[in-house]
Structures are given as structure tokens and as C-alpha cells.
Structure 1
């Protein structure tokens, strides 16, 4: 029990390894986290690169989801914290990240959310890593939202990293990768689909299409950070 508590609430800041703190990171390191600048794209929740309310990427391609939210820029302290969580199992910052995510969701008018669904890992990657980072985030966030986390999606095969592929290759890479588990009926459900980092949006788009084919009425996206 003590080792679990130390993993979640260590004595020293997990980022700078110097300042003492009681929860997540020290105040100095938290101030170094770069939040996404506003305004953001109304469709993908990311950077606006023009004078419109919709970014150029969303204008040039179909997005299956209904709305999207991200909190940080995937650089500096935010990147270090997410990478340490993802590849070293350091979950210290997850309560703080979930709190930030909840604040972002409720900043204006909170969308109706019936269940929180994590983007799935391939079973081999799950064994190698020991946990699904999206599920950890989803579970912590669902406590704020007072709803269940549901693993309703499966990944059929291992795929290459999306960040290294062209837009056409991304679509090909994800063809028939995701499917809904047998017997899943999401009729009229409003779902929050969760992942750690928004890179191209192709994975989230593919998962959203599967959820809507299974009956979901609306799918909202939430990621901790944007590349």
C-alpha cells in the first residue's frame, strides 16, 4: 500500500526532482506547462491557423466527431510528463491532468456524456507496456464526470506510428483496425473518446466512426495534448 501511495504522491516533484510537494508536481513546474492558446478550432480544439473559427485541416477533411478538447501543447514540461507516464508508468500527474481536462470540458457548457471510452491498445502493446495510458486517463476523468469508463473498442492489429505517415497513408494504416466488441449497443449514447495525444486525428476519427456505427448519437474527443 505504501509503495502505491508513493507512486501516486511522491515526496519530491516528479519533474524537477527537487521541490517537495504533496500532490502532482511543485508549483514552479506546473507553471511551466504550456496550455493551448485561445481561441481554438471549434471542430478539433486545436491551433487556429487562419481568421476562421475552423482550422485549415478541419476545412480540408471530414471529421467524424462532434467536438474536441485538448489542454496542453505537446512540448516542454507537458511532453516530459506525458512521456514519463506513457513509457515509465509514472502516474503522478494524472490526477492533475484529469482535473484540467474536467475544467476544459466544463469551461463553457459541459456536453452530455453517458460514458467515457479510451482508445484501445493492441493486445501485444498492452502486455509490453502493462497498461493502456488512455484508459488510465479515462478512468480518472470519469470520477469527475460521475459516469463509467467502458472498454467497448478493440484494435485488430498493430499499426505503424501515425505521425510519420502522409495523410493518405494514415487512412490506409487504420483501415479496419478498430471495431466494437460483440454485443455492444451504443444506441443514443453520448460518448467521450479519450487518448493521450492528438497527432493527426486519424486514429480518433477511425474510432469515432466505429462508435457511431455501433449506435452512438454523439462522440466528443478529449486528449491531454496536441502536437
Structure 2
């Protein structure tokens, strides 16, 4: 009588994977519960980093009372082209680790987690707004080639799950110095001035566009992208990032 081979089920495969390759936390590398991207401590770190109040215009960390205003002390004296801002939390703890990993990794579990965070931030802030498309802040082609992907594009693609199409309406015309090394907001704005342009055949007229990026440091890059889009005829421009700094620059 022939010997019947064992039925290899998905459950068996998952069990074998759990034994042979125990789950590791994406943030700290310590053991995590099967099927969980983070360990208990890093989940708490993520909750803490995402548990604050944000200025609705620029995303800055503000008090609960200040979050009810249309703008905060950081953005009130600046020429802003951004009409509204959504973000997941502060550049701290677990969220900081995830953002740094995203710049250099296409780990499927990591991408799934940050896309969930981005979609949640969008729903919390812009669920009632008309958004025609999400546009990732582009990398210069040299940086895109070296990295292999654009982390802003990873976030933008993730919003397809809630019905927001992704469009690459912008191009980066010149390489700029990394923004974190710039000393002031005015220097950051000067650094990115003229760095972006609307693509030749893109039509953004009368559109309501959401810019996506992983980090908002000072906001100069997002503001320049918004300026270019509005000069090309965009009606409104919003922004979404994973993080902002805990203190302002």
C-alpha cells in the first residue's frame, strides 16, 4: 500500500516558521509574540510617541488647547503653502527607529506597519477633506538609485487601501544638502528653493493634493513642494508624514 504523504497546511508552515525563525521586534530586535511586528516594550514606545497634540497647519507638537487653533506659534509668522497637516507622532522612541529603518529597508512587515500608521493619521485628520491624489516628495535620481526606492512613495502607495490614488506629479531637479545639517528655517528654505518642479505632462490644476514624506524636520521641503504645486494651479495642498521633531527648529 502506498504511503500517504503529509498534508502541508498553512498552519503547519506558520508553526514551523515560529519554531525555526522566532519573531523578532522590528524596532529593537528582541523576541516578539508570533505574528507581532513589535515587542511589548516597543508597542508602548510607539503609543507614547503617537500620544500628543498637533498643530493642524504644520504638525508641530502643541498643547491640547493650542491644537484647537488654526495654526501655532511656530507657523503663524511663516509663509506657508501647506493647508493642513497630518502625522503619526514625534520623532522619538519606537517611531524614530521605524523611520530610520524605512530609509534603508524594504522589509515587508515594516512597510505594512508604517502604512497602517500613515493611513490612521490620514483618517484622523483628513477623513472629511476632498483629496484627489497623494504625491510622494521625490528623491533626486542619484539618491533614489543608491537607495533603491523612495520611502515617501512607500507611504503614498499605502493610501491606496483607503481609496487615495498615488501620483508622481513632482520631480526633483537638483540634489540638495541634507536638511538636518542646515542651521535655520530660512537657510533650509533657501536650500530647497528651485529643487522641485511639476512634471511636464502632469495636470494639477484645481486639484486637492496630499504630499507624503517620512519625516517633517522644519517643513521647508514640504512647503517648497506645496508652493510649486500651487503655482502650477493646485487648489489646495496638504501634507502627511510619519513624524515631526519633539521640539521646533
TM (norm. structure 2) is: 0.80
In structure 2, how many angstroms separate the alpha carbons of the residues matched to 1:170 and 1:137? 24
In 1, the alpha carbon distance for the partners of 2:244 and 2:139 equals: 19
Does the CA-based 8 Å contact 1:13-1:21 persist in structure 2? no
Deviations 1:82-125 (A, max 9, x none): 11121234352332222232223222661211111000000000
Q: CA deviation at 1:208?
A: 0.5
Aligned residue among 160, 163, 167 for 1:142: 160
* Shift of residue 215, structure 1, vs aligned partner: 1.9
| Secondary structure of the corresponding residue to residue 58 of structure 1 | coil
Does the alignment pair 1:21 with 2:39? no
CA distance in 2, matches of 1:112, 1:127: 33
1:193 aligned partner: 211
Q: 1:126 to 1:216 in 2, by over 3 A?
A: same
Shift, 1:50, TM fit: 10
SS class of match (1:12): coil
- The answer on 1:12 being equivalent to 2:30 is no
Residue 31 (str. 1) matches residue 49 (str. 2): no
Q: Does 1:118 align with 2:136?
A: yes
Matched, 1:209 2:227: yes
Which of 52, 62, 71 pairs up with 2:79?
62
Q: Tell me how far 1:28 sits from its aligned partner.
A: 3.9
Residue 151 of structure 1 and its aligned partner are, at CA, apart by: 0.8
Find out whether 1:129 has 2:142 as its counterpart: no
Q: What are the superposed Cα offsets for residues 124-149 of structure 1, whole Å, 9 maximum, x if unpaired?
A: 000100000000111012222x1321
Report the 3-state secondary structure (helix = DSSP H, G, I; strand = E; otherwise coil) of the residue aligned with 1:149. coil
Aligned length: 218
Q: Decide which of 173, 193, 210 is 1:156's aligned counterpart.
A: 173
Tell me, yes or no, if the aligned pair for 1:49 and 1:55 is still in contact at 8 Å.
no
- Runs of 4 or more, structure 1, over 6 Å off, are none
Unaligned runs of 5+ in 2: 1-16
What is the TM-score when the length of structure 1 is the normalising length? 0.87
Residues 23, 192 of structure 1: CA spacing in aligned structure 2 closer, same or farther, 3 A cutoff?
farther
Q: 1:50 to 1:19 in 2, by over 3 A?
A: closer
Cα shift at 1:205? 0.3
Q: Provide the C-alpha distance between the structure 2 equivalents of 1:109 and 1:23, rounded to a whole number of angstroms.
A: 28
